[in-house]
A and B are shown apart, each in its own frame.
Chain A
Amino acid sequence: AQTVTQSQPEMSVQEAETVTLSCTYDTSESDYYLFWYKQPPSRQMILVIRQEAYKQQNATENRFSVNFQKAAKSFSLKISDSQLGDAAMYFCAYRSTTSGTYKYIFGTGTRLKVLA
């Protein structure tokens, strides 16, 4: 069974600085998807970024980028130029591409605080 681990329960970053959130996962599959979701205090789950395992290039979305290390089964999220609005819980998620398996497996989350 696949597992997703986020070892940092809480992180802090100064406004305008860069922070990296860690995520590791365990799987025997070669093809899968990885995601980072953000959950602000409003509790809405918002997709931040996604990565297909068959792509070697790291995904980027504006100030958000990932460092995907397939061999190490690591998928970290880098937030550049941190803003107060980035303060939230961040969840890493794994999804198999096996036909008929649609569920996501989420990590336990990292709470990010942004200091003014």
Chain B
Amino acid sequence: DTAVSQTPKYLVTQMGNDKSIKCEQNLGHDTMYWYKQDSKKFLKIMFSYNNKELIINETVPNRFSPKSPDKAHLNLHINSLELGDSAVYFCASSQVWGWTGEDTQYFGPGTRLTVL
């Protein structure tokens, strides 16, 4: 069973287009994340949702809009795609346990977005 899944795994599109990436987790976690990994492999958080509520919103262009229809899903919609949006986008989920705030993030397989 796939714990965190993303679709599609590869996405090639033209500049100016709008595209979405879907993420689903079957771990029963409350918190989900979107990360962007650039060509130098630097991994940076973009958004996080906890029980469908946005809790982290890093400095990301407003062309990027996350949507969480329920706590098992967190989709990423990108408007007016630009060349600089080319990257690998990772979804992750976690569950914060108890007073220690313990959690481990589990990542999806990533979506390689190429903007031409």
Contact = CB atoms under 8 A, between A and B. Distances in A.
Contacts of A89: 41
Contact of B110 (A44, A50, A97): A44
Indicate the size class of the contact surface on chain B.
20 to 34
- Contact residues of B: prevailing secondary structure: strand
Contact of B41 (A47, A98, A109): A109
7 contacts: A33-B102, A39-B41, A43-B112, A52-B100, A96-B101, A103-B48, A108-B40
B101 A97 contact: yes
A100 B53 CA distance: 12
Contacts of A33: 101-103
A102 B110 contact: no
Contacts of A44: 107, 109-110
A35 interface: yes
B43 A43 contact: no
Nearest to B58: A103
Chain A interface size, under 10 / 10 to 19 / 20 to 34 / 35 or more: 20 to 34
Interface in B71-104: 88, 90, 92, 94, 96, 100-104
Given A95-B103, A96-B101, A103-B45, 13 more contacts: A31-B101, A33-B102, A33-B103, A35-B104, A43-B88, A54-B100, A91-B43, A97-B100, A100-B55, A102-B31, A103-B56, A106-B44, A108-B41
A32 B55 CA distance: 19
B56 A102 contact: yes
B106 A47 contact: yes
Interface string A17-59: 0000000000000010101010100111111001010100000
A44 B55 CA distance: 25
A102 B94 contact: yes
Contacts of B107: 37, 44-46
A107 to B, nearest CB: 9
A62 interface: no
A100 B50 CA distance: 9
Contacts of B55: 100, 102
B105 interface: yes
